[in-house]
Amino acid sequence: MSRAPRWTFIFVVLLFISFGVFLHIPLVGALTEQQIAQQKSQKQRELEEIMKEINSISRSNATLSTKLSELKSEKSKLEKLLSSIGGDLVYLEEENKKQEAELVNLASTYSLQQALYSIESQKNILVTLFEASDIRHVLDRFLYYNIQARELREQKVLLQTKQEAIAARRGQIETEQGSLQKSLSTVNQEIAKVEDQLSLYSASLSKSYGQRNVLVTDINKLTKAAQKAIEKKVSSSTPSTGGGVGTPTGSGLVNGSTSNTGSGSLSVIIGGSLFRKTNSNIKIVAQNDELKLVGKNTTEFAGILEFSKSFGTLSNGTRIYVVNSLPMDKYLWGLSEMPSSWPLEALKVQAVAGRTYATYKMRYGGYGTFDLLDYVQDQEYSGLSKIKSAYGSNWKQAVDSTTEKVMEYGGKTILAYYSADNAGHSVSGADNGFGNFGYLAAKPDRYQEGGVWKSYGSTSCSYWIIQGNKPNFPWCGQTRQSEGINTMDRMEDYLNGAIYYTLYGKMVTTGELSPAALQSYLSSKGKQSIQEKVGEITDIKHVYNVGDQSIVAETKYTKYVVVTGTKATYTVSGSAFKTSYNVRAPYNNAVYSTLYDIKRVNSDNWELWTRGFGHRVGMSQYGSYGRAQAGQGYEEILEYYYTNANVVQYDIGRNVRVALTKVGSRVMKVTSKSDISIFEGSTLIKTVPANTEIRVEYN
């Protein structure tokens, strides 16, 4: 999800996306049509490879997630067995103590009987008989002593036998306990391995998505450049097409009906035979509400697929061939903005934020003939694949359980911006070009633990992770030392770029001014290069807005970069350095947030570490994850991120209309496992049986 910025950089195109901000500058202005076509073809091949990689990683990730769930279930069983065995040991210990007590009492009684018997037996038999009133009493006493002695001996043997049995059973239980503890240790090791692998997959997936987004941006720019070249050629004979019908100002939509204005601009082919050519809209709906659409990609959708020559073309050159019209919650089922395996309360936060953003566009914005785009310009939408993938039922539950819930401020639906990770402090909409809305306020998103301030989101970017050489997310670290990206020479160039930007309010690429040329240019303007200002650099450090390098509640952004040299110390603004780095660093390296760290590795290498990811306005997705883990409910989380806004019930009363740019193409095929109805405008013109292929072509 993004909004076009108001900045006026010549060579910097800033794309705000829900899982990051990418800065990429393909230089297409001076290319020929052939060169543009070649570059576009190459980018498309790269995109196909990236998509294959994403699908492969996603499948592996789903398999590992299932394995992790099974291991955790096994761990729970083992822990319950260990707890039960521990209880058995406690019981046996108590029984053993009882037996020992009985043996002590028995020994005391036995000793007393022995003493009495000894006294009686030591008397002279004549004295005993003389003292007795009846001889039978004398005989009875001796007999009683003998019987008691025998019974006491038998009880002692019995108690000793019980003790031996208890000891044997305890030995068996301790053996079982040891075996279970060993199994538990093995399971814990397996869980740790799987979690580590999942972290690597998460990093790889995020990186691949980032590469995909960059490629999509490049392809769109190349398409736009090619379109401009064509328009320039025919401008003398072709009238201007003007703006799109009903398009709001700044929506990025232009009229797409260029040459396709004649009869038969849409062809409908059923089972290989031409059925109809028409200038009207064609709508296709399946009886089971599941349609498979094959175009640039293959995706399944709920609702209606609508084809029309009048949808128009985006300002980046993308033509809209197909729109998916469907109920709000079914649209949200396909919202691919948060992993479905996350806690339910976090998923509910995303569901309400996504519904609110879509409702805002439907009420106050949109693109005239449709409401939303299916990628990060608005929100990532992937159709039915979202709820059919791993943990999809969790996401569906989050959507269904929050149906009609949206956020309002002052009685109006809010523009619910969100990004991946705010690094522990959000940025206001006004500060980041998103509008001066009261509900998009900057606020801390941290908690204290052991006297240390921690972010609800990006705790994985702490230095203990860096020192362990185990970054969990690709936006934590950007240095690849083997490629020498942040050597001292390059750092000097980034600093010179920041000085240039500060002086002239614009940025230059290395293609326009090489590092040596940029240094020479600044030197000619009154010794403005960093080399002349500080001499040989001895240290470069970041300083946060709080005045130092401390992470506290109010740490919000990197305010300065302070350069110390053999001659002097010089300070550049944190934003200027970030802009320079993102334009002049090689490959796709970038600082993805205004809060970042500079860390020295050695005398000739530096690391730049981003804290957070994305524009940091509104809701933080990783922050929602952390807050949900801490026990907060979805309404509490939403009302924290969107200041003074409230969760309310609201039904907009119509379908969402989503332009399918990622799958739409000039020729598309539609199938379903159920009967399909085809409408021309609002008139039913054909019903076809299940599995019949319907091909729609734009002539």
3-class DSSP string for 470-490: CCCCCCCCCCCHHHCCCCHHH
Q: How far apart are CA 370 and CA 246, in angstroms?
A: 10
Structure tokens at 553: 């509640």
Q: What is the pLDDT of residue 39?
A: 74
Q: What is the pLDDT of residue 178?
A: 85
pLDDT in tens, 553-571: 999 999 999 999 999 999 9
C-beta separation of 439 from 409 below 8 A: yes
User: What does pTM read for this prediction?
Assistant: 0.63
- Asked if pLDDT for residue 459 goes beyond 60, the answer is no
- Asked if pLDDT for residue 292 goes beyond 70, the answer is yes
End-to-end alpha-carbon separation of the chain, Å?
A: 32
Q: What confidence category does residue 166 fall into, taking pLDDT thresholds of 50, 70 and 90?
A: confident
- Asked if pLDDT for residue 617 goes beyond 50, the answer is yes
Residue 363 inside a domain? The answer is no
- Asked if pLDDT for residue 252 goes beyond 50, the answer is no
Q: What is the pLDDT of residue 6?
A: 36
Q: What confidence category does residue 657 fall into, taking pLDDT thresholds of 50, 70 and 90?
A: very high
pLDDT in tens, 680-699: 999 999 999 999 999 999 98
Q: What confidence category does residue 498 fall into, taking pLDDT thresholds of 50, 70 and 90?
A: very high
Give the contacts of 676 (CB within 8 A, at least 6 positions apart). Answer: 284, 285, 286, 287, 291, 670, 687, 688, 690, 692, 694
Q: What is the pLDDT of residue 436?
A: 93
CATH code for the domain in which residue 93 is found: 1.10.287
C-beta separation of 626 from 455 below 8 A: yes
Q: What confidence category does residue 396 fall into, taking pLDDT thresholds of 50, 70 and 90?
A: very high
Q: What is the pLDDT of residue 229?
A: 52
Provide the domain count of the chain.
2
- Mean pLDDT, all residues of the chain: 80
Q: What is the pLDDT of residue 241?
A: 27
Q: What are phi and psi of 300, to 5 degrees?
A: -100, 140
Residue 681 inside a domain? The answer is no
Which residue reads 């990628």 in tokens?
Answer: 375
Across the range 87-114, mean pLDDT stands at: 72
- Asked if pLDDT for residue 98 goes beyond 70, the answer is yes
Q: What is the pLDDT of residue 144?
A: 62
C-beta separation of 580 from 494 below 8 A: yes
Q: Shortest CA distance to 316 belongs to which of 270, 265, 366, 252?
A: 252
Across the range 396-424, mean pLDDT stands at: 96
- Asked if pLDDT for residue 64 goes beyond 80, the answer is no
- Asked if pLDDT for residue 576 goes beyond 90, the answer is yes
- Asked if pLDDT for residue 231 goes beyond 80, the answer is no
- Of residues 201 and 336, which shows the higher confidence score? 336
Residue 226 inside a domain? The answer is yes
Q: How far apart are CA 99 and CA 97, in angstroms?
A: 5
Residue 582 inside a domain? The answer is yes
- Asked if pLDDT for residue 141 goes beyond 70, the answer is no
Residue 214 inside a domain? The answer is yes
- Asked if pLDDT for residue 118 goes beyond 70, the answer is no
Across the range 201-216, mean pLDDT stands at: 70
Which amino acid would we find at residue 538?
A: T
Q: What is the pLDDT of residue 441?
A: 97
Q: Where are the alpha helices (DSSP H) in 8-134?
A: 33-122, 125-131
Lowest mean pLDDT of 101-110, 367-376, 593-602, 668-677, name the range. Answer: 101-110
Question: What letter does residue 425 receive in the DSSP assignment?
Answer: B
Across the range 661-671, mean pLDDT stands at: 96
Residue 674 inside a domain? The answer is no
Question: What letter does residue 459 receive in the DSSP assignment?
Answer: G
Q: What is the pLDDT of residue 188?
A: 87
- Asked if pLDDT for residue 5 goes beyond 60, the answer is no
Q: What is the pLDDT of residue 619?
A: 97
- Asked if pLDDT for residue 189 goes beyond 70, the answer is yes
- Of residues 56 and 539, which shows the higher confidence score? 539
Across the range 628-633, mean pLDDT stands at: 96
Domain extent, residue 52, equals: 31-238
Q: What confidence category does residue 57 fall into, taking pLDDT thresholds of 50, 70 and 90?
A: confident
Structure tokens at 190: 């397996």
- Asked if pLDDT for residue 670 goes beyond 90, the answer is yes
- Asked if pLDDT for residue 502 goes beyond 90, the answer is yes
Q: What confidence category does residue 442 fall into, taking pLDDT thresholds of 50, 70 and 90?
A: very high
Query: In the listed set 182, 211, 238, which residue is the last one of a domain according to the structure?
Result: 238
Query: In the listed set 206, 238, 270, which residue is the last one of a domain according to the structure?
Result: 238
Across the range 294-303, mean pLDDT stands at: 96
Across the range 27-36, mean pLDDT stands at: 55
Query: In the listed set 191, 215, 238, which residue is the last one of a domain according to the structure?
Result: 238
Q: How far apart are CA 355 and CA 253, in angstroms?
A: 23
Residue 589 inside a domain? The answer is yes
Q: What is the pLDDT of residue 395?
A: 98
Q: What is the maximum span of the chain, computed from C-alpha positions, in angstroms?
A: 153
Residue 555 inside a domain? The answer is yes
